[in-house]
């Protein structure tokens, strides 16, 4: 089946190339009766945009004005498909004409040609990060449903850039710095490091981010293949540049014994408590109600001004240095995208649980 649809009951289909006329998403399966305005979606879209004046993100600047083309009537969702669209404006396609016949290393140029026979090379075409704009628009609706119906909140933060790791956690700091980092001291160091790598070295750098789902509904996830952690892993790995996903203790669980890793349970004050959260909020593919914790390994931005070896479309050896308006470290801009993907998964599974509860 074609690959541009995500979700089963709350289902999105995205479309659009980086330098085509527009980028959009259809949300099919949003139940009727949700109050919804373009402004609410716009707010999330703004979080994904490059920060004006920032030295660590791309300088591409677009208004990214969200339009609702269907599915909302008199301020409420009607139960019919919601079509959202944003025009592409700042598309300097000629920037790309010279790489038309070259494969940029670590980009999808080579593989798109392998798969499709040719490609829209302008700005990466469909493989561009601009596609994630559609995910964020849809995610804004999913986030609203979760907040309103289950008081679930999703946020992400940068926990490592290169070798620099955070040492403190203060959630209120996250949206105050360009790195979306909960440790302002680390954030300042990370920023300095990124600027040096970008402007002095003409290079880029990888990072690790963490996504936290606070107060998730209990009982979500569909064993055995559609386990909550499996769906989340797919959702995250479908974001370009994400090369690793772990839940709870993750890879560290390899070094733990069962007596250390098993999250013990107690009843206290009338409530069930887990004494630890190594599971990261799921057991057997189903949410326990504890925070869901996901960490993502992000590769460095492939586009760098250092020259690297590559081949041309006609298989000749050459070198390439990618000049242009690129991010240097993707962590802060991937965060709203990853939050959106988490929200889409949870909303879908929450709706599925309605069905599971139907005979009780």
In the complex, least distance from residue 100 CB atom to a copy of itself, rounded to whole angstroms: 11
Residue 225 in the binding site for a copy of itself (CB under 8 A) = yes
The span from the CA of 217 to the CA of 229, in Å, is 14
Q: Which of 107, 130, 143, 333 binds a copy of itself (CB under 8 A)?
A: 107
Q: Does 252 bind a copy of itself (CB under 8 A)?
A: yes
Exposure letters 314-330 (e unless 16+ CB within 10 A, then b): eeeeeebebeeebbbbb
Query: Is residue 336 a contact point for a copy of itself (CB under 8 A)?
Result: no
Give residues with Cβ within 8 angstroms of 335, minimum separation 6.
47, 156, 157, 158, 180, 209, 211
Q: Return the closest-CA partner of residue 203 out of 106, 311, 90, 70.
A: 106
- Does 256 help bind a copy of itself (rule: CB under 8 A)? yes
Binding to a copy of itself by residue 199, rule CB under 8 A? no
Based on the shown chain and the rule CB under 8 A, indicate whether residue 357 belongs to the binding site for a copy of itself.
yes
66 CA to centre of own chain? 19
d(CA 68, CA 242) in angstroms, rounded, equals 30
Shortest approach of a copy of itself to residue 61 CB, angstroms? 22
Tell me: does residue 83 bind a copy of itself (CB under 8 A).
Answer: yes
Instruction: Measure the CA–CA gap between 353 and 234, rounded to whole angstroms.
Output: 20
Q: What is the smallest separation between the CB atom of 40 and a copy of itself, expressed in angstroms?
A: 15
Residue 108 binds a copy of itself (CB under 8 A): yes
1-60 residues near a copy of itself, rule: CB under 8 A: 1-6, 8-9, 11, 13-17, 20-22, 24, 26, 28-29, 31-34
Tokens standing for residue 89: 């404006």
Residue 323 binds a copy of itself, judged by CB under 8 A: no
From candidates 89, 90, 175, 201, binder to a copy of itself by CB under 8 A: 201
């Amino acid at each position: 089946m074609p690959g541009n649809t995500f979700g089963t009951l709350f289902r999105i289909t995205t479309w659009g190339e980086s330098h085509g006329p527009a980028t959009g998403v259809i949300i099919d399966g949003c139940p009727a009766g949700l109050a919804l305005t373009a402004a609410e979606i716009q707010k999330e879209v703004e979080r994904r945009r490059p920060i004006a004046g920032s030295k660590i993100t791309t300088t591409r600047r677009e208004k990214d004005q969200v339009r609702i083309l269907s599915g909302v009537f008199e301020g409420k969702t009607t139960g019919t498909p919601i079509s959202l669209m944003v025009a592409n404006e700042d598309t300097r396609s000629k920037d790309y004409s010279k790489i038309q016949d070259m494969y940029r290393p670590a980009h999808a140029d080579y593989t798109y040609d392998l798969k499709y026979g040719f490609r829209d090379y302008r700005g990466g075409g469909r493989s561009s990060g601009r596609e994630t704009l559609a995910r964020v628009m849809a995610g804004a609706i999913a986030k609203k449903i979760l907040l309103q119906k289950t008081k679930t909140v999703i946020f992400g933060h940068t926990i490592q850039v290169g070798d620099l790791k955070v040492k403190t956690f203060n959630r209120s700091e996250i949206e105050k710095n360009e790195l979306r980092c909960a440790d302002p001291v680390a954030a300042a160091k990370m920023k300095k490091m990124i600027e040096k790598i970008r402007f002095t070295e003409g290079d880029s750098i990888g990072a690790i981010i963490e996504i936290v789902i606070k107060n998730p509904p209990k009982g979500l996830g569909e064993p055995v293949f559609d386990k909550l952690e499996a769906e989340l892993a797919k959702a995250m790995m479908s974001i370009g540049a994400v090369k690793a996903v772990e839940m709870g203790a993750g890879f560290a669980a390899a070094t733990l014994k069962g007596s250390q890793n098993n999250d013990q349970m107690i009843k206290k004050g009338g409530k069930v408590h887990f004494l630890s959260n190594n599971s990261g909020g799921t057991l057997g593919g189903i949410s326990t109600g504890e925070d869901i914790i996901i960490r993502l390994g992000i590769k460095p931005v492939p586009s760098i001004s250092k020259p690297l070896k590559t081949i041309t479309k006609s298989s000749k050896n050459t070198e390439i240095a990618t000049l242009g308006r690129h991010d240097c470290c993707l962590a802060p801009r991937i965060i709203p995208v990853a939050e959106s993907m988490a929200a889409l998964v949870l909303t879908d599974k929450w709706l599925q649980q309605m069905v599971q509860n139907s005979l009780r």
